Structure 1
Amino acid sequence: MPWHEAPDGGGNGPATPSRDGAAEDIRRFDAALDPARAQGLLAALDLLRADASRGASLDFELLRSWQQHVLGTPRLPQFRELPAFAKQGRERYGIGPDTRARLDACLAESAPDATRPLPLTARAARAYLDVCFFHPFDDGNARSAFLTLVFVLAREGVALDGVGLLRRVTFRADAPEDALIFARYIGTHLAETRRNAAASDV
């Protein structure tokens, strides 16, 4: 993928929104589906932001510490052991002895790398899609992918005041152009967040 073509979201550096777009969306969208679902996501959101503040490395161990709250399980969820399916069976995600290690290697590339600089929007989009298409959990992978995106942004001091384009979308594993479209969606939200924050400071 030509990730270097992703937009930069209106510049580098932290972005502090006037409102918490991720939490607001969870309270509006997920709470309408199931209050317990929203409560679990909000708990995971708090945890991931604490992890981001301490500069935690992104890997499956970190994902499953959030996913325990997402799924409300008494134990940490395990990496799936069987092939997974999505989109009513149209997509199949295989499993092999190295699948988890490959996911960890991909997630590690979400961190800034001076030798291979990529826009934050690209790294956040890729991490989101990696979780979607590696499909590490038996359930809740879309929610896990969203939390992963929020974490990648938060680790660099960025939050969004809206996430509408990022949660009610579907991307296909066999459509590479979808990846850059998603990066542009992140860039759109980030640029808008920066504009709104600047306007509120006037």
Structure 2
Amino acid sequence: MDPARAEGLLAALELMRADAARGASLDFELLRGWQQHVLDTPQPPPFRSLPAFAKGGRERYGIGPDTRDRLDACLAESATGGGRPLPLTARAARACLDVCYFHPFDDGNARSAFLALVFVLAREGVALDGVALLRRITFQADDPQDAVTLANYIDVHLAETRRGAASLGS
């Protein structure tokens, strides 16, 4: 990652941590505040207004009058009491894949999805020591097996973090 992109993501991470600490609700408005830092833009970016394409045009993301509302409804399910009771790692994976699936921005959606994942964990007081598996693997938002794989990767990182914390306490 080039230094400017890294700096933008770090700035967004700081804002995301503050939002998690105050127990903010995950929705498009929160994402776009982080995305302003990710993209280093003077204003928070709007929700895209046209179909989007990714992975060299192999993936297409449609747009309709209710797309943003559907995204917000999905992101609301990342909260502890939101919708179906899912484990934390499943809710974090779901939030990440929802951002990927809805592709709300013209640019930087993978970084936004990563921030959503980390936010869901941080809002419940969970911080990971490392995120290598989460940042280097591509997941298909509409593939049910990829959702399970992502949740498993989050579990792996969480277990590594707990083992590291336990060894420090010994």
Q: What is the TM-score with the length of structure 2 in the denominator? A: 0.97
Q: Is the 8 A contact 1:110 1:127 kept in 2?
A: yes
Q: CA RMSD in A?
A: 1.2
* Structure 2 gap segments, 5+ residues each: none
Which of residues 100, 107, 121 is equivalent to 2:75? 107
Question: Take 1:72 and 1:173, find their aligned partners in 2: how far apart are those partners?
Answer: 26
Question: Take 2:42 and 2:10, find their aligned partners in 1: how far apart are those partners?
Answer: 17
Q: Is the 8 A contact 2:77 2:84 kept in 1?
A: no
Question: Take 1:163 and 1:83, find their aligned partners in 2: how far apart are those partners?
Answer: 30
> In the TM superposition, what is the alpha-carbon distance from 1:116 to its structure 2 partner?
3.2
User: Do structure 1's residue 164 and structure 2's residue 132 form an aligned pair?
Assistant: yes
Q: Is the 8 A contact 2:141 2:147 kept in 1?
A: no
Identity across the alignment (%):
79
User: Do structure 1's residue 43 and structure 2's residue 11 form an aligned pair?
Assistant: yes
Q: What is the TM-score with the length of structure 1 in the denominator? A: 0.82
Q: Write out aligned runs for 1:20-169 (5 A).
A: 33-113=1-81, 116-169=84-137
Q: What is the identity, as a one-letter code, of the residue corresponding to 2:124?
A: E
* Structure 1 gap segments, 5+ residues each: 1-32
User: Do structure 1's residue 180 and structure 2's residue 148 form an aligned pair?
Assistant: yes
Deviations 1:103-132 (A, max 9, x none): 000000000028732110000000000001
SS in 1 for 2:53: strand
Aligned counterpart, 1:197 = 165
Question: Take 1:141 and 1:175, find their aligned partners in 2: how far apart are those partners?
Answer: 18
Question: Take 2:140 and 2:34, find their aligned partners in 1: how far apart are those partners?
Answer: 25
Question: Take 1:53 and 1:194, find their aligned partners in 2: how far apart are those partners?
Answer: 20
Change (3 A) 1:97 1:158: same
Change (3 A) 1:147 1:173: closer
Question: Take 2:111 and 2:16, find their aligned partners in 1: how far apart are those partners?
Answer: 13
Q: Is the 8 A contact 2:77 2:83 kept in 1?
A: no
> In the TM superposition, what is the alpha-carbon distance from 1:99 to its structure 2 partner?
0.1
Change (3 A) 1:59 1:176: same
Q: What is the identity, as a one-letter code, of the residue corresponding to 1:189?
A: H
Q: Is the 8 A contact 1:133 1:173 kept in 2?
A: yes
Question: Take 1:122 and 1:130, find their aligned partners in 2: how far apart are those partners?
Answer: 12
> In the TM superposition, what is the alpha-carbon distance from 1:175 to its structure 2 partner?
2.3
